[in-house]
Amino acid sequence: MQITNMPSGPLAVNTYYVLDEKTGKGFIVDPGGWNEQMKNHIMSTGADLEYVILTHGHADHILGVQALLKDFPGAKVVAHEKESEMLMDSSFNMSAQFGQPVSISPDLKVKEGDTLTVGSLELKFFFTPGHSPGGMCVYIEEENVLFSGDTLFQSSIGRTDFPGCSFSALAESIHTKLWPLPDETAVYPGHMGPTNIGFEKGHNPFV
Ligand SMILES: [Zn+2]
Ligand SMILES: [Zn+2]
C-alpha cells in the first residue's frame, strides 16, 4: 500500500491518496481542494480511483469533491450516514463561508463497523462523533493504519467549538474506538503530521 499526502484547499488539509499496488485500485481521503498536480499524480500511477472517502463534512475537507469527480467520474463518495445533513447544507458544512457553497450527497453511507474492500485492502469505519455529528475514522488493520480526520491529531484533538460539536463525545470516541487499537498503529490526521496510537495514548494532553 502506498500513501501520498497531497495537502489541498484553503486550509491545506491533508488529502491522502492511497494506492493498492497489488491491484491498481485506489481511494482518496478528504479532498479539501483539487488541482492538476493531484490529478496528474493519480493518473501517473495508472490507478483506478474507486472511492472518495470523507472523514466528515467540514468545508476544508470537501471543497475539492466536485472538481475531482469531473476528472474521475466513476469514483463513489463515501461518508458516515450521520453526516448527510451537514454535507447537504452549505452553511452547516461552512463551504458558504468560504465563498464556495457545496452540497454533497454521498453515494455510499456507512456506519460503525462497516467495511469496504478496495483491491486487496479492507477498510473498516469507526463512528467517532464529537468534532462533527457524523465524524468517522478509517482503519486498515492489515496495514496498521488509521486515517483519523479531525478526531485525533499529533498531540492534539479536533476543535469542538463549531455547531454540532461535543467535547465529551469526542473524548469518548477517542477512548472507546481509538485507544484500543495496537500502539504501533500509524495515525494519518486531517491536519499536521502523522503520529501513532501508542504515542498519543501516552502524551496527548487533551484526552
Ligand atoms: Zn473539521
Ligand atoms: Zn479540518
The whole-number pLDDT of residue 124 equals 98
Q: What is residue 24's three-state secondary structure? A: coil
Residue 18, helix vs strand vs coil: strand
CA distance 17 to 30: 9
User: Which among 149, 179, 138 is positioned nearest to 86, based on CA atoms?
Assistant: 149
pTM value is: 0.98
19: its cell numbers: 494506492
State pLDDT tens for residues 147-191. Answer: 999 999 999 999 999 999 999 999 999 999 999 999 999 999 999
pLDDT at position 186, please?
98
Residue type, 78: V
The range of the structural domain enclosing residue 75 comes to: 2-203
- Between the CA of 159 and the centroid of ligand 1 the distance, in Å, is 7
pLDDT digits (tens, 9 = 90+) for 73-94: 999 999 999 999 999 999 999 9
Q: What is residue 185's predicted lDDT score, i.e. its pLDDT? A: 98
Confidence of residue 43 (pLDDT cuts 50, 70, 90): very high
The whole-number pLDDT of residue 76 equals: 98
Query: What is the pLDDT confidence band of residue 204, given thresholds at 50, 70 and 90?
Result: very high
- pLDDT above 90 as % of the chain: 100
Q: How far is the centre of ligand 2, averaged over its atoms, from the C-alpha of 63 (Å)?
A: 11
Distance from the alpha carbon of residue 62 to the mean position of ligand 1, in angstroms: 10
Selection from 25, 75, 70, 73 nearest residue 54 by Cα: 75
**Gap from CA of 158 to ligand 1 centroid (Å):** 7
Using alpha carbons only, give the angle 163, 100, 153 rounded to the nearest 5 degrees. 50
What separation in Å is there between the alpha carbon of 190 and the centre of ligand 1?
A: 8
- The beta-carbon contacts of 82-85 under 8 Å, at least 24 apart in sequence, are 82/111, 82/127, 82/129, 82/133, 82/134, 83/54, 83/56, 83/57, 83/132, 83/133, 83/134, 83/135, 83/136, 84/109, 84/134, 85/133
CA–CA gap between residue 163 and residue 166 (Å, rounded)? 9
Measure 22 CA to ligand 1 centroid, in angstroms: 32
**Number of domains into which the chain is organized:** 1
Distance in Å, CA 158 to ligand 2 centroid: 8
CA of 132 to the centre of ligand 1 (A): 7
Residue 128: name the closest of 138, 143, 118 by CA: 138
Which bound ligand lies closest to the C-alpha atom of 153? 2
- Ligand 1 centre to CA of 166 (Å) is 13
Ligand with minimal distance to 57 CA: 1
- CATH at residue 123: 3.60.15.10
What tens digit of pLDDT does each residue of 89-130 get? 999 999 999 999 999 999 999 999 999 999 999 999 999 999
